[in-house]
Structure 1
Amino acid sequence: MSITAYEGHYEGEAAVWLKAGRYEAAILPGIGGNLICFRDTENGYRFLHEPGAEDMEAFKANPGIHGIPVLFPPNRYEDGEFPWNGQTYRFPVNETATGNHLHGFLHTAAWEVEEFGSGKSESFVTVAIKVDENHPSYQYLPFKYTIKLRYTLGEGGLSQQLLVHNDGEERMPCLLAFHTAINAPFAPGSTAQDYLVKLTIGERWNLNNRMLPTGTFQELTADEIALRDQGVNPFYAAMDNHYTAVAQNGRNRMELTDSKAGVTLVYDVGTSYKQWMIWNNGATEGFFCPEPQINLVNAPKVDLPADEIGLFGLEPGEYWEETSRLYVK
């Protein structure tokens, strides 16, 4: 099995490429540390929504719907306000339709390549971002921290290891998600109608007209019960839905089955992700985003128990770590 890791380019952008047997992947350190593609070259599968040459300018301007963007802090914050430890931090309101701040500061930031290489059975890359008073985002979220993201490619698919460390002197918020963009179809010769998605959802949060949770739940529809239990087409209706995550068989995951090709893509995320967002671009066939999320949307302004809504912090010197994996069965 050919295994390698090397510096190269993806549509003109600096990239680190990983190869291991039939799999290949590429990460863009300079654009949010975004893992921009994961492919099975033998079967022609492209699992992630990749930007083509014609999409690169739009992608660079708003790198939220391709690859695996890192959102920190994720999703929406009412009026751009982020109360924490007796202070209220103010983020730019960048979603004018709702008057909210959306998606934080790291998916557009430059990350550094820490190391890359290959061993007998896997290739790997680690990228990191260090935020302190010299980083542009510090003016909005004035905490010192380091985030490391390590991807490993091998026979078992693509594994992701995430590490957050509080470098500062005060308790910092640790709210994070991945806006993972999955192709449906991912196989040549298949159509979107050949696909069923299953997701380990629990209850659906009720969202108001600003897409912020009211703190209550709404009843699951028959299609959402199918999404949880046996699978449903990912484009059955327009989805911008927020759910609690409830593990099944000890695991928190999305399974996307191509009934024509007879394969299932598994996105197995850690159980620290207590919430899911699922967004399908207004039911537009081609790709959708099952987004594992630590915290409830707008969590700092929701009056519910912190552990229930994933509103947690790291004390000085503390680490938080979680792993996920994309693989085929």
Structure 2
Amino acid sequence: MSHKAYEGTYQGEKAVWLQFGPYEAVVLPEIGGNLIAFRDTESGYRFLREPAESEMEQFKANPGVHGIPVLFPPNRYEDGKFPWNGKTYQFPVNEESTGNHLHGFLHTIPWRVEEFGSTASESYVTVSVKIDENHPVYRMLPHTFTFRLRYALSEDGLSQHVFIRNEGRESMPCLLAFHTAVNAPFAPGSTEADCKVKLTIGERWELDGRMLPTGKYQPLTAEEKQLQGEGVSPFFTSMDNHYTAVPQNGRNRMELTDSNIGKTLVYDVGASYKQWMIWNNGAAGKFFCPEPQINLVNAPNVKLPADEIGLFGLEPGEIWEETSRLYVRNNG
């Protein structure tokens, strides 16, 4: 069994590779700390959508729909305005079709490799970004903080540990999601028809023409109820949908079952993620994005109780952390 962690390249980009038993993973520190690949090399499974060599320039221009991009703050903010503690921050309007700011600042910038290594029980890498007054992000989000990600491979799959510490003198917003791009199917020889997805969703938020929440809920369709229960095709309709998260059996998770191989990919995210975004690229097939999200889209501009919409801050010196895991379960 091969256990190792090493620096190398991925499609010409600087990368840290992790190997543990049948598993392999790749992190791209210079492109947003994105975990771009998670594979089972013995079975030929590729769990995450990876860019082909010919797609690397396109990926670098828009690194939001491959691997596990970090969205901070995530999703859309009306007119790029972000009210916080009596001030209003102005983010760039980078989605012209809606006039909104989309997806924050951390998924496109370089991160630093803090350490990587391998032990008898895991292979791991830690990457981080430190924002202070000298960092370009500070101009838009004027807070001093450290954001650290630790990924580890073990016999239990891939674990992710998120750590955010406010190192400034004022409360800072802590709004986060991961635009996780999951292959469906992930196994060679399987088809989209073999795949069913289940998610711990609750209510569906109504979104207006600018893809911003109205504050109201919409009734779930029959297929969305299957999404909560026995599972449904990830491509049953075009989805760019926002839901509350309601844990089942004490866990908040996505389960993608492949009936052809009798296995389920489980994406178990922490209960701090109070919302799910589900995007499936117009039901085009091949991949979809079950996105665990702390906060409601456009939360600082929504007049609903902060706890209900996941709007919270970190006081000076405070730390927020959470863990998630991707692993495979045998069925039957």
Alpha-carbon deviation of 1:237?
A: 0.3
Show the 5 A alignment for 1:1-329: 1-329=1-329
Q: State the alpha-carbon separation in 1 of the partners of residues 181 and 101 from structure 2.
A: 21
Q: State the alpha-carbon separation in 1 of the partners of residues 120 and 137 from structure 2.
A: 39
Q: State the alpha-carbon separation in 1 of the partners of residues 52 and 144 from structure 2.
A: 35
Aligned to 1:235, the other structure's residue is in SS state: coil
Cα-to-partner distance string for 1:192-216 (whole Å, 9 max, x where unaligned) = 1110000000000000000000001
Cα-to-partner distance string for 1:96-140 (whole Å, 9 max, x where unaligned) = 000000000000010000000000021000000000111111111
Q: Which amino acid aligns with 1:82?
A: F
Alpha-carbon deviation of 1:151?
A: 0.3
- Runs ≥4 residues deviating over 4 A: none
Q: State the alpha-carbon separation in 2 of the partners of residues 252 and 68 from structure 1.
A: 17
Alpha-carbon deviation of 1:185?
A: 1.1
Length-normalised TM-score, structure 2: 0.99
Q: Which amino acid aligns with 2:17?
A: W
Q: State the alpha-carbon separation in 2 of the partners of residues 215 and 15 from structure 1.
A: 42
Aligned to 1:224, the other structure's residue is in SS state: helix
Aligned to 1:282, the other structure's residue is in SS state: helix
Q: State the alpha-carbon separation in 1 of the partners of residues 160 and 63 from structure 2.
A: 19
Aligned to 1:138, the other structure's residue is in SS state: helix
Q: Which amino acid aligns with 2:67?
A: G
Q: Which amino acid aligns with 1:119?
A: T
Q: State the alpha-carbon separation in 2 of the partners of residues 127 and 225 from structure 1.
A: 38
Alpha-carbon deviation of 1:87?
A: 0.4
Number of corresponding residues: 329
Q: Which amino acid aligns with 2:143?
A: F
Cα-to-partner distance string for 1:132-191 (whole Å, 9 max, x where unaligned) = 111111111100000000001010000000000001000000000000000001100011
Give the share of equivalent positions with the same residue, in percent. Answer: 74
Uncovered stretches (5+) of structure 2, i.e. residues with no partner: none
Cα-to-partner distance string for 1:242-294 (whole Å, 9 max, x where unaligned) = 00000000000000000101110000000000000000000011000000000
Q: State the alpha-carbon separation in 1 of the partners of residues 55 and 178 from structure 2.
A: 20
Q: Which amino acid aligns with 1:228?
A: Q
Q: State the alpha-carbon separation in 2 of the partners of residues 134 and 59 from structure 1.
A: 27
Aligned to 2:216, the other structure's residue is in SS state: strand
Uncovered stretches (5+) of structure 1, i.e. residues with no partner: none
Q: State the alpha-carbon separation in 1 of the partners of residues 134 and 286 from structure 2.
A: 40
Aligned to 1:227, the other structure's residue is in SS state: helix
CA RMSD of aligned residues (A): 0.4
Q: Which amino acid aligns with 2:30?
A: G
Length-normalised TM-score, structure 1: 1.00
